[in-house]
Structure 1
Amino acid sequence: MAVDWARGGPDLLVALDRGAGPLGIQLQDQLRTAIRDRRLGAGERLPSTRRLADLLGVSRSTVVDAYEQLLAEGYVESTVGSGTRVAAIPGGLTLRAPGVASSPSRPIVADFEYGIPDLGSAPLTDWSWAVSEATRALPTAELGDADPAGSPHLREVVTAYHRRVRSGCAVAEDAVVVSGFRQGLAFTLATLAQHGIRRIALEDPGPREHDLIARRACLDPVPVPVDDGGLDVDRLHASGARAVLLTPAHQCPTGVALGPTRRRDLIAWADEVDGVILEDDYDAEFRYDRQPVGSLQGLNPGRVIALGSVSKTLTPAMRLGWVLAPPRFVPGIVEEQRLSSRGTPALDQEALALLMESGRYDRHLRRMREIYRARRDVLAVEVEHAFGPGRLHGLAAGCHALLRLPDGTSEHTVVTTAAAMGVRVNGLAHYRFPGMETEPRPPALVLGFGNVSESQIREGIRTLARSAGHGGSDRA
């Protein structure tokens, strides 16, 4: 859909050389090149002839002649009341380099990518309401550079929510608002380095690229194995790390929850080594068998930094998150943010605060919990029929589960065969710590079910079963 511009249309960067020949020819050539290179896309409006003439310091007739030439050649189209726009050229101009062949796209049967919520259920109507309210209510004085720690209003709301839903004990002064989890993690790791921490333990298997983020902060990442009880705290002791990053409520990607004894052992480890626990609290709200496991931050707020965002609960496009840290770390995290980005957009912060304060956020989570529960149940039934009982793990919470393949099955073969049949999925090896992929671990697939429909789940699991050589997948 074309966007109607204000009178005169958009600006356009064109440089004319008055000593290099007729200006009209130069203008035609530059516009053709911009259209061919897709710097001007189909349907994009060009400036009015009067406005472009003023911008370039040429006569209007020069611009009119150039537009008429491009119109005659089919590069642009002109409609009364709509101005001059770039034409949609059948067959298409392309940026592809010569000699690079395109490959036909294959229809996607199901995409079991981990970590993607149901994008079609994002509460855009509620968000639109919240943005409208924020625009109306935010004082003019708060439209300038925001407090780098974040909106006081949102910090109050987020910490109140964390206390109410996650059993934490942070207050507004402990919170820093950031643009998503990864930004918060980068700022936090840089702050830990400033406090003399040099080594951080990461889960193996675990979320991807956290080792790269740690190295960018000048920390040495070391792997610590995860088993059916969660992070192996004894191996953490042996690692020599003084910080650890983990996903205790629903481990990524195995789906296990950190057991109560290990939670206590982890807190004891932090006290013993003067260490810090970084808690990635990414999908704890989606618990199906009972209420969510409480945040580690509530057990020892002086040793735990909790990081959260709305990427899994709302949509990654909103890019809002928070860091709840002990007071000694907050100034460093705030300073990292101030030097990096001067903070997160104030209007978005106010909108999120209103969304949560109004109850719309909780209402959305309740609705999504039931949607995900139904998809999880379909997934469990289909996997049991196709692969047999007892192979699906991590179903108590979150939007992904672990499908353990029969011993001797090649993860790589199943993944590549499934991809050729239109099903996207990652094997457990995809989440191994770099250099640890060769350590023995049972073959498994990580099945994200947040952004797939129930019918896609059914067809996708049957396709995976065929990829793994299981006849039970042929049920109609």
Structure 2
Amino acid sequence: MRDNGAGRVVAGRRWGEVAEVNIAVSRKIGVPLGTQIRDQIVNAIAVGDLRAGQRLPTVRQLAEFLGINRNTVAQAYRQLENDGHVITRAGGGTLVAGDPTTTAPPPAQTLRDLVRDAFRQARLAGFSAREFAELAYHTSAQEDAAPASRIVVIDEYRGELDFVCATIRRALPGSLVDAFLVADLQAADPDELRVRLAGFDCALVAFYCLEQVRPLLADANLPVVAAGVGPTLNSLRRIADESAGKQVAIICTEPNGPEYMAAALHRAGITFAVDPLLAHVHDQRLAQILADSEVIIASQGSVDVVATLAGDTPVIAYSRLISEETLATLRSYTDYLAANTPDT
């Protein structure tokens, strides 16, 4: 499977050795698009998602996938090269810098090793795990001296909403995270809603309900970050490869979710030999539908339930619910807020 230059995925072809890069940008958060691209690539390198020697998409490929100007991507790539994160070779494209044969651990692994060593010493000195964690947390908070981010998460489905909130709390420890279902926003008194939302720095909204939510947030004057909720390119590739010619089931946590997922896959250029079977986790037909399927595509909120019932049938997670690129964008925005918030 490959990118056809417009962000669509075509089954049966591969990108070759181009690295998988999950990037999303938003014009709504006050952070330059080039900075968002650069930060997300640096983060992917830091956590090991991108490794030395891997080739990034071309400027044209990435610009067309994101729907932005090529000069913006080129500028981000130049900054990455100036900072030593990537190198450009004539005829070889843009590569992640470093020697791919080295065995040095990525920075994230180095940090984990440092934490383990520190905890081991604390335990030998008689301190409990809770005492160690609490002191580390409070020390970090004092060192950062930055106000806590206040984020409201909005989604149409309860299972996905809970999953996204948990992900945000893990990714941004210390942040204040609240949640709204779209139906709750629609039912709320406008004046009360405006007062409640005034306490937040931004709203993280699942992209598939963004158009529903924007009018409801208009009076709150609240910046909106669109959450990358949907299949990653890796998911799309696996779905296209494994579902060819097979009976597919699409499962979600809510009754109308599978139809949305099926439509999203169709827009991504994935077609099925026969119409997929659609069900939600509380559907009385679920067990039979799973038994009749050769491949199961499950939303992240339903994947654990489905996996316990699927037996040997392959289960493909349709989405990570909130992608790393969305988290990187959110981190960039909260850092921006912290840097521009006057001390009190």
Q: TM-score w.r.t. structure 1 length?
A: 0.23
Structure number with greater Rg is 1
Q: TM-score w.r.t. structure 2 length?
A: 0.29
